[in-house]
Structure 1
Amino acid sequence: YLSSLFFYFYHYLTRQAQSYPLFPSLGEMEGHMFECVNQAAVHEELEDETRRLCDVRPFCPMLKLVTRSCGRAERLLDSKIGVLIGKGLHELDALQDQEVKDFRSKMFRISEEKMQRVQLMTWSEWLQACFSPQLEPGGGAPTTTDGVNNKQAEASLKVTMHFDQSQVTTVSVHTVTEHCSLSQSPYYGEPLVVVVVPPQVQVRAGLFHGTELLCKPAVSSESSGRSEHVWNRTLEFDITVSDLPRMARLCFAVYAVMDKVKKQKSTKNHYPIAWVNTMVFDYKGQLKTGDIILHSWSSFPDELEEMLNPIGTIQTNPYTENATALHIHLPDYNPHPILFPPFDKRYDETSSHDDRGKKFHIELKEIMERDPLSQLCENEKDLIWTLRYDCMENFPQSLPKLLLSVKWSKHEDMAQLQALLQIWPKLSPRDALELLDFNYPDQYVREYAVGCLRDMSDEELSQYLLQLVQVLRYEPYYDCALTRFLLNRAQCNRNIGHFLFWHLRSEMHMPAVSVQFSLILEAYCRGSIPHIEVLKKQVEALSKLKSVNELIKLGTIKNARSKTKEAMLTKEAMMTCLRQSGYTETLSDLHSPLNPSVLLSGINVEKCRYMDSKMKPLWIVYNNKLLGGDTLGIIFKNGDDLRQDMLTLQILRLMDLLWKEANLDLRIVPYGCLATGDRSGLIEVVSSADTIANIQLTSSNVAAAAAFNKDALLNWLKEKNSGDALEKAIEEFTLSCAGYCVATYVLGIGDRHSDNIMVRSTGQLFHIDFGHILGNFKSKFGIKRERVPFILTHDFIHVIQQGKTGNTEKFGSFRNYCEQAYLILRRNGNLFITLFALMLTAGLPELTSVKDIQYLKDSLALGKTDDEALKQFRQKFDEALRESWTTKVNWMAHNVVKDNRS
C-alpha cells in the first residue's frame, strides 16, 4: 500500500538527509507526498494512501517526493475525478476556450452550493434524495478519397458578412489566397485503369438550420496544381444577416474534382477530402468575427447532400497533425459586437385564426397523423403554418410538424414561433422526445422540450436516458437546458447518476465528444462527491478484468497449436490471476455497473471461465450474500461493441412496459447490458437458462438430427418441471414466445441461430446477441440465410400445444397474444421511430441514416389502418410457420459446426 511505501521511503530519506545542512527545512512527514506519471501521461498526486501501487500503475518505476501545498483536499478531489472520468483535469485547464472556462466555473459554483445543501440534510433526507424508491410503471409523482490524401492539407478562406444600419445585407464569402497542399497517397489495391492527373480542388460552404439548407450553397472555383491551390473568387449566400437563425451553422466540404473513366457518361467526379462545421454565433449569442482555424474530419457518412455534413459535430478535429485545416476569417464589420437579440416575451402576434381552419381541418388532421418519417411538401407546410393556431388547439402533439413548416430564414416567422411556444400546451414527455432530434435545433424549442421532460418520473427518465445522452451531441454549446436537466436529475437520484456516468464515460474515447462529455462528468462528480468512491471501485474492477482478458488472449495465441493444452494452461493462468490479493480485493464488494442496487460480494473463482469465441469474453461468477447465497454471473467483453445490443435491449424493455400498461404481460427477459468503454462492457447472465442448441444436442447422439427432434424442448421442460409446474412453464413459454416473435419481427432482428435463443427452466424463452437489426439479415453467396420474418418452429408449436397435435385452442391463444402485442406496438410506432432517430449519430453499424429506420415504419405498417396492418401481420405469421423448415435446416448446419468445433 502507498501508506507503507511512503512510511518506508520517507524514513529512509530522512536518515540519509540528516547530514545535510538544510535538513531542518524539510519539516514534518505530513508536509510531503508522492507524485508519479500514470499510464495516461498525467502527473498524479498520490494523496490516497489506502491505494495499492499496482492500482496506481505508474508509467515508469519512479516516484517523486514533493512538498504539499495548500488546498490538499481540492487537489485530491481533482486527481480522483481525473482518474475516474479517464481524462486529467489539467487537460481541461490547458484548453484556451472561454466557453469551457465559463461552463466549468458555473458548474463549480452550482456543485458547491449543492454539496453545502447536502451537508445540511438529515440522514433520512439524504437517503430520500439520492435513493428515492423505484415506483411501478405509470405510478408515482413526476419527480476515401481515390487518388487524394487529406493529410496536412491547408486552405485559407475569408468569410465576410457585411452589415449596415438597415440590417438588410448579404452574406458573402470573399476568397483571398487559398493554399491547399495535397500529397498523393499510395494506392493499395487493384491497379488503376486510368492515370489520374493532379486533382482540382474545390471548397463548398452551406448555411444550415438543423438539416434545412437556408439558401443555396456557395462553391469556390476549381483550382489545379500539384502542391498549391489558389482561389480568387467571391462566394455569396442569398440571405440577410438579420434573417440568420440563432442556431445557424456554417458547414464546409473540401473535395477533389477528377476525371472519371471514359466509359461513364459523366466527365467529372467529386471525391470528398474533409468536412468541418462551425456555429455562426458563439455560445453568448455574439456573431463570430476574426480568424478561426478549423481542423476538419475525413470520415464521411453515407448519402451526404452536396458533400456537406450539417448533422456532424461542430467540434474541430483534435488530431490536428493529420487533419485538413481551414483558416477562416470573419472580419469585423461593425465597431461593436453584434448580438443575436433575445426573445421579447411581450411580443404578441396580431394575426387571428384563419377562416380556412374549418375548411381544411380534415386535410390538416390527415397530415398531423402521419409518422415522423413522412415528408411534407411545400403546400402542406404553408397550410400548417397558416393554421398554426388550429394546430395548437386541436393537434398540440403536432408541434414537430409545425416546426418543420417554419421558414427559419425569416426572422419574422422565428419571432412568431417563439411567441407561440409561450402558450403552446405542454406535451407528454414521450411526445416531447422528438423535439430533441437534430431537425429541431432552436434553443427555445429545446428548452420547451426539456420543460416537458421534467414531468418524467425517475423510472421513466431511466428508460430514455440512453437517447438523452446521445442527443447531447446535437447541442452546439456546453451550457444548455438538456445538460442542466440531466445533471440535476442525476445528482438527485443515485441510480440515474450511475447510468449517466457510464453512458458518458463509455464514449470518452470519441474525439468529437471527449471535451463535452468530460465537462459533464466533472460537473456530476463535483455535485455527487459521495458517489466518487463507489464509481472508482467499479472503474478499477473493470481495469482488472481487462487485464485478465488480455492475458487469456495472449495465452491462446501462444498455445494455438494445441487446443486442449491451450484451454488447460489459459484457464489455470486465469484462475491464478483472479486469486491474487490485488485482484481479489479490487473485484470484491463493489456495486454492479449493470445494476447499482446489486452488491457483488466476492468472486467464486472455481466457477469462473472464459468463453470460446474470438474475443474470449470472461464469465465471472460472484457469490452474493444479499441473494441468500445464490451465485450471480456477469460476462465481461473486451473487443466487441455492445452499444447495439444495449439499444435493442432497451427497446425490448420499453415494449415490455407498453404491453404491461395495456395489461398484457408477455414475460420478456430484458437482461442487463452496459457498454463501459471503447468496445468493452458487461452483460448479465440469466440464471437457470440454456440455449436451444444445447437442449437439442443433449437429446440426440447425432448433431445433424438434433434440430429436427421436435420433442427435445418439451422433454427438457418436463425434466425441469413436474405436475402443475409444467403447465405453468408451458404458459410462460407461450407468452414469452409470442412477445419475442412480435419484437424480433418489428425490430428486424437477424442471425437467429439456435445458440442465440435460450429458454429458462421456468419456461421463459428469450433471445440474445443482437448484432443484426433493422432487417440486416445474414447472407452467404448472395443468398439470404434467414427467409422467415421471425422464428416460429414446429417444436415451439409442439410445446405451446402441450405435445398434443390437435390442441388448436392453445395455439389460437398464442396467435391472439401475438396479434394483441403487435397492435399495441403499432399505437406507439412514432415513439419507436423517435428513439431510433435520436441514436443516428451514435455510430452504430446498422443505424447510420433515416433509411435504416424505414424498416420500422414498414414492419409496423404505419400509414395503414389497424385492419390492413393486422392482415399484413397475419400473412407474416403464416409465412413464418410455413417456411420454418428453412430455420431447422440452418439450425442443423449450426449444430454440426458446433459439434465439430467441440
Structure 2
Amino acid sequence: MSGSMSARRRGSTVTDGGVEETRSRGWSLRGRKETQMEQIKPITEKDTSSRLSERRMYLLQLVKLLQLLLGHEIDRIVTWHNPQSTIKLAVPEQDLYSPAGAFEWNTQKWRRFISLAWSVSPRLAFQLGVRFPYRKVRSTLELFAKDHVELVADDPAALPYLVARQNVKDNIPELKHLLHWAPCEPPLALALLHSTYSVNPYITQYAVRVLNSFSADTIIFYLPQLVQTVRYDVSGVVQEYLIKASQRSPLLAHQIIWNTTTIEESVEGKVPLAGHASGETFYHKSVALREGVRASMSGKAITLYADEFDFFNAITTISELLLPFAPNERRARLKEELRKIPIKGCLYLPTSPKTTVLAINYERASPMQSAAKVPIMVSFLVTDEAAIQDVAEDVGEREKGEKKTPANAIEASADDSVGGEDGGDHTELSEDEDESDWPLQSSARVGGGTLSPRGGTKKREGGEGDQDGNDGGNESEEDDGGVGKAGLKDPHPANTHWQSCIFKAGDDIRQDVLALQVIELCKRIFQSVGLDLYLFPYRVIATAPGSGIIEVVPNAESRDRLGKKVEGKSLFEYFVQKHGPPDSVGFQRARRNFMSSMAAYSVISFVLQVKDRHNGNLLVDDEGHIVHIDFGFLFDISPGGNLRFERSHFKLSTEMIELMGGRPDSTQFKWFMSQTVRGFLALREHSEAIITLVTLMMDTDFPCFTEQTIANLRERLCCDKSEKDAATFMTYKVIDSCQAVAKFTTFLYDVFQNFSNGIDY
C-alpha cells in the first residue's frame, strides 16, 4: 500500500492490470506533439497576403453578385416607371448595371454566381431562379436543392427545384423530406396533384397537407382544378380530403356536387383511367366523390342542400320548358312557371353565397333571345345576411351523434371572388324593350338611397356629369306587385336589394367558368401591386351538363344596345351625352374608367386569346367601364371554323381610340398603353399560377384546347424574357392592334355580325 502511494507521489500511474507506468510515456507523447508543432511552418507575411487576397477576391465576387441583383432590380423599376422606354422618362445611368447579357451566360458562369449566393444564403440562391428564370439557372438550382435538401426544407421557393420532373421520374430518396417541407402557395400545391407528380406518394401527401391548411374560400376558388385532379388520384387521398373538407363548409359541399354533376358519362365514362382499378373512369370517380359528399351530410345541412338544389333546378328547368313555345308566348309562360316554385327554407344565390333569397319578381322575369335555346333572366330580392349561418352548428355531425363545429364552418364564400364596384342605379329591361342583350340589374330604393348590387343601401353622390341612367321601370318602395315573398312582412326590408341571374339550359358554360376564374386571379394580381386596372369577373356556376347560372353585370348595357338607343352615335358622343362635356369632371372620370378597364381587358384578351369580340359581347357600365362577357372562343379556337378572322391581338376599334385621345400619340392613349404594359408585367410575375389553372383543365373536353395550348400560353407570357424585353414585346402588341390591318379586320367582323345577327357597330 505504501509502495503504491509512493509510486503515485513519484508520478507513476497504475493500470487496470496493476502494472505501474512511469510518466516517461506522457513526456514522450508531449515531446511528439512538440515535434509535430515544430514541423508546422510559421505564418509568414506572404501567407497572410495570400489569405487576404483570397478574401479580397471573395468580396469582389460578392460585389459582382450584388451588382447583378441591383441591376436587375433597377431594370425592373425603370421598366415599370417607363414601360415604353421614352427618352423623356429615362433615368440617368439606368443601364449602368443592367444584366442585359445574362441570358447569354453559359452554365459554368451561372453556377459560379449561384454557388456564391448559396454561400451567403440558400434563399438568396433561389431568388436568382426567380429573377432569372432561365433553363441554365434552373438546372443548377435543381442540383443544389437535391444535394442540400436538409438546408432548404424550410423554404417553399426551393420546392419546385426538388420536385423537378427528372427527380420525380427517378424517384430520388430525397423526396421523403416533403413530409416535413414548409407549406407552399395553393397553385403550386395544385400543380403537384397533376399526373406528372401524383405517381409519388410523398408529393401527393405533401400537396394534400398544404391544401388542408387553406380556408374553404380558397378551396372553392380552385375547386374546378381540384375536381379534375381526382382523375390522377390512384390512392384516393384527394377524394378523401375533399369529402372531409366539405364537412366544414356547406358551400364547399354544394360546389363539389355541382362540379361533379357537370361531368358527363357519355364523355368521361368511356376511357378507363391508367393505374386505377380495372375499368374505372373519371366519371365513376366523380360519382363516388359526389355520393361521398352527400353521405357525409347530416342535420340541417341535408335540409339546406335539398331546398337549395330543388329550388334552383326547378328554375333552370323552365329554360327547357319554354323552347316549344312561340316567342310571344314565352314571357307569360315563364311567369306562370315561376309562381309554381315555392320559396322555402334557407336559400342563397349560387352566384352570391353571402345572401339570403327573400322573393322573386315575377313581373320582371324575362326570356332572352337565342338561336336555339331560351335562357331566362330572373330577379331576386336578397338580403346581405348569409342563409347558411343557421346550419353551422349542425355541419360536421357524424354517425356517432357527435357535433363538431370547426371555427371556419361557414367561412367559405365564393362571393369574395366577385369583382366590380358598387354604386349607381341598376337599370333593367322593361317589358317593351329589346331582350336580345344581357339584361340589366333592377333598381329598388330604400330610404332614399340606391341599392347596390352587392349589399346594403348606397347613396348616390351627385356631381357634374352624373346622370340617373334608369331606362327601365324602377320599383318604388310601395310598389311590390308581382313579387313572390317568403313570409315578408315588409316588402323591402333593410339591407336588401334586387339581384338578377340568367339561367341557361343546353349550353356548356364550363369554359366560361375557367376564363372568369383566370380573370378573377388577374384582378387579384392587379390589386396586389396597386395597379389602376378594372375587371369585373362576374360569377358563373355550371350546375349540370349543359346548364348553369350566370350573374348579371349590374348597371351595364351592351355596346350593341347603346348604339341602337343613341342612334348610331360613337362612344365619344355617347360619353358626352351620358357624362357631360369633354372638359367636365364627369366625362374625365368616365373616360379614365374606360381606359383602366380597356387596358385590363386588353391584357386578358391577349393572354387568353379571347375572340368573338363583337359589340354584343362588350358592355359599358354607368361609370364608363367596359366589361367583356361570353368566353366561348379563347386560346386556340375562333368563330367560323377557326378561320382566325379577328387578326388583332385584342379589340381596339377606331371609336375606342377616339375616346382615348383620338391618336396613338395623345396623352390619354399613352396612359392606356403604359397601363396595358404594366398589367402584362404584373401577370408575368404570377405566370405559373395562371398556367397551372389552365394545365389542370387540359384533360377536359373543352373545345378551346389543343396540344399546343400550354406552350402557346407560356410563349405569350414571355416566361423566358427579361422585364425590359417583355415590356417591349407587349408595347409592340398594342401598336400592332392600332395598325390599319388589325382595325380593318375588327371592323369587318363587326360588319359581319351586324349582317348575320343584327348587332350594331
Q: Per the shorter chain, which TM-score range?
A: 0.5 to 0.7
Does residue 437 (structure 1) correspond to residue 194 (structure 2)? The answer is yes
Q: How does 1:313-352 map to 2 (within 5 A)?
A: none
Determine the C-alpha separation between the residues in 2 that align with 1:497 and 1:830. Answer: 28
Query: TM-score scaled by structure 2?
Result: 0.61
Partner of 1:567: 327
**Contact 1:833/1:853 (8 A) holds in 2:** yes
Which structure has the greater CA radius of gyration?
2
Residues of 2 paired with 1:848 and 1:531: CA distance? 41
| Superposition deviation, residue 742 in structure 1 | 0.7
Check the 8 A contact 2:556/2:620 in 1, yes or no: yes
The higher-RCO structure (CA 8 Å, 6+ apart) is 2
Decide which of 534, 540, 556 is 2:310's aligned counterpart.
540
Q: Does the C-alpha gap of structure 1 residues 374 and 359 become closer, same or farther in structure 2, counting only changes over 3 Å?
A: closer
Equivalent in the alignment of 1:812: 670
Distance (whole Å) between structure 2 residues aligned to residue 716 and residue 897 of structure 1: 29
Look up the match of 2:590. 729
Residue 786 of structure 1 aligns with an amino acid whose one-letter code is: E
**SS of match in other structure, 1:729:** helix
Report the CA distance between 1:537 and its aligned residue: 1.9
In structure 1, C-alpha distance between the alignment counterparts of 2:639 and 2:117, rounded to whole Å:
42
Distance 2:581 2:328 in 1: 32
Partner of residue 465, structure 1: 223
Deviations 1:797-846 (A, max 9, x none): 33334xx7799333222222111111010111111111111112232221
Cross-structure match for 2:293: 524
Residue 476 (1) aligns with residue 269 (2):
no
Distance 1:423 1:835 in 2: 26
Distance 1:722 1:522, change over 3 A: farther
Query: Does the 8 Å CA contact 2:651/2:737 hold for their aligned counterparts?
Result: yes
Does residue 323 of structure 2 align to residue 553 of structure 1? yes
1:756 aligned residue: 617
The answer on 1:590 being equivalent to 2:360 is no
Q: Provide the C-alpha distance between the structure 1 equivalents of 2:128 and 2:558, rounded to a whole number of angstroms.
A: 45
Query: Any residues of structure 2 matched to 1:33-112 within 5 Å, and which?
Result: none
**Conserved? CA contact 2:133–2:719, under 8 Å:** no
2:643 and 2:201 map into 1 onto residues whose CA distance is 48
User: Which of the two has greater helix per residue?
Assistant: 2
Matched with 2:751 is: 892
Query: Is 1:870 aligned with 2:727?
Result: yes
The CA distance in 1 between the partners of 2:506 and 2:677, in whole Å, is: 39
- Letter of the aligned partner of 1:877 in structure 2? V
Residue number in structure 2 paired with 1:389 = 147
Q: Which residue of 1 aligns with 2:553?
A: 686
Compared with structure 1, are the counterparts of its residues 771 and 372 closer, same or farther at alpha carbon in structure 2 (3 Å cutoff)? farther
The code of the aligned residue for 2:652 comes to L
Aligned to 1:645: 512
Per-residue deviation, 1:404? 4.1
CA contact (8 A) 2:190 2:692 kept: yes
Amino acid at match of 1:431: L
Shift of 1:495: 3.4
Residue identity matched to 2:717: L
Question: Is the 8 Å Cα contact of residues 357 and 387 (structure 1) preserved in structure 2?
Answer: no
Q: Please tell me whether the aligned partners of residues 114 and 128 of structure 2 are also in contact (alpha carbons under 8 angstroms).
A: no
Q: Secondary structure at the match of 1:785?
A: coil
1: CA distance, partners of 2:157 / 2:180: 14
> Hey, which of these two has a bigger chunk of strand by percent?
1
How far residue 723 of structure 1 moved from its aligned partner, in angstroms, is 6.0
Task: Find the aligned partners of 1:360 and 1:540 in 2 and give their Cα distance.
Answer: 60
Listed as ranges, the matches of 1:756-775 within 5 Å are 756-775=617-636
| CA drift at 1:632 | 1.6
Whether the aligned pair in 2 keeps the contact of 1:501 and 1:521 (CA below 8 Å) is yes
The 1:692–1:458 alpha-carbon spacing in structure 2 relative to 1, beyond 3 Å, is same
8 Å contact 2:637–2:703 — kept in the other structure? no
Matches within 5 A, 1:373-522: 384=142, 388-390=146-148, 393=151, 397-406=157-166, 413-414=171-172, 416-422=173-179, 424-441=181-198, 442-478=200-236, 480=237, 482-507=238-263, 509=265, 510-511=268-269, 512-522=281-291
Question: 1:840 is paired with a residue of what secondary structure?
Answer: coil
| Aligned residue runs from structure 1 range 588-667, under 5 A | 590-613=347-370, 614-624=372-382, 630-667=497-534
The 3 A distance-change label for structure 1 pair 607 and 722 is: farther
Does the 8 A contact of 1:634 with 1:682 survive in 2? Answer: yes
Q: Deviations over 1:352-378 (max 9, x none)?
A: xxxx976985999899949999999xx
Is the CA contact 1:714–1:798 (under 8 Å) kept in the aligned structure 2? no
Shift in CA distance, 439/633, structure 1 to aligned 2, threshold 3 Å: same
Distance 1:831 1:874 in 2: 23
In structure 1, stretches of 5+ residues that fail to align are 1-355, 556-565, 701-705
SS of match in other structure, 2:329: helix
1:855 to 712, 726, 730: 712
Q: Distance in 1 between matches of 2:335 and 2:256?
A: 33
* Shift in CA distance, 637/594, structure 1 to aligned 2, threshold 3 Å: same
Kept after mapping to 2: 8 A contact 1:640/1:679: yes
Q: Deviations over 1:735-759 (max 9, x none)?
A: 1111111111111111111111111
Measured after TM superposition, the shift of residue 461 of structure 1 is 2.9
Q: Report the Cα distance in structure 2 between the residues aligned to 1:607 and 1:546, rounded to whole angstroms.
A: 16
Q: Does the 8 A contact of 2:262 with 2:545 survive in 1?
A: yes
Q: Determine helix, strand or coil for the equivalent of 2:378.
A: strand
Match of 1:746 in 2: 607
Paired with 2:521 and 2:759, the residues of 1 have a C-alpha distance of 39
Query: Could you tell me how far 1:611 is from its partner in structure 2?
Result: 1.5
Q: Distance in 1 between matches of 2:343 and 2:115?
A: 65
- The secondary structure found in structure 2 opposite 1:766 is strand
Give the C-alpha shift of residue 689 in structure 1: 0.9
Paired residue for 1:786, among 634, 646, 654? 646
Helix, strand or coil: the match of 2:550?
strand
8 A contact 1:357–1:390 mirrored in 2: no
Shift of 1:617: 0.9
Pairwise CA distance, 1:654: 0.5
- 8 Å CA contact 1:588–1:600 kept in 2: the answer is no
- Pick which of 810-819 and 725-734 moved more: 725-734
Q: Deviations over 1:697-750 (max 9, x none)?
A: 3233xxxxx4x8353442454279996444332222221111111111111111
Amino acid at match of 2:509: L
1:4-15 matched pairs, under 5 angstroms:
none
Q: Which amino acid aligns with 1:645?
A: D
CA distance, structure 1, for counterparts of residue 666 and residue 288 of structure 2: 60
8 A contact 1:400–1:434 mirrored in 2: no
Q: Which residue of structure 1 lines up, in the alignment, with residue 430 of structure 2?
A: none
Note the C-alpha offset of 1:438.
Answer: 1.2
Residue in 1 that maps onto 2:655: 795
Amino acid at match of 1:646: V
1:640, 1:888 → 2: CA distance?
28
Instruction: Give aligned pairs, total.
Output: 516
Instruction: Letter of the 1:794 partner, please give it.
Output: T
- Contact map agreement 1:778 1:784 (CA 8 A) in 2: yes
Cα–Cα, structure 1 residues 505 and 363, in superposed 2: closer, same or farther, change >3 Å?
A: farther
Quick one: structure 1 residues 655 and 408, their matched pair in 2 at CA, closer, same or farther if it must change by over 3 Å?
closer
How many angstroms apart in 1 are the aligned matches of 2:745 and 2:232? 44
Deviates more, 1:761-770 or 1:517-526: 517-526
Q: 1:501 to 1:723 in 2, by over 3 A?
A: farther
Q: Equivalent pairs: percent with the same residue? A: 23
Q: Which SS does the other structure have where 2:306 is aligned?
A: helix
Residue 234 of structure 2 aligns to which amino acid in structure 1? P
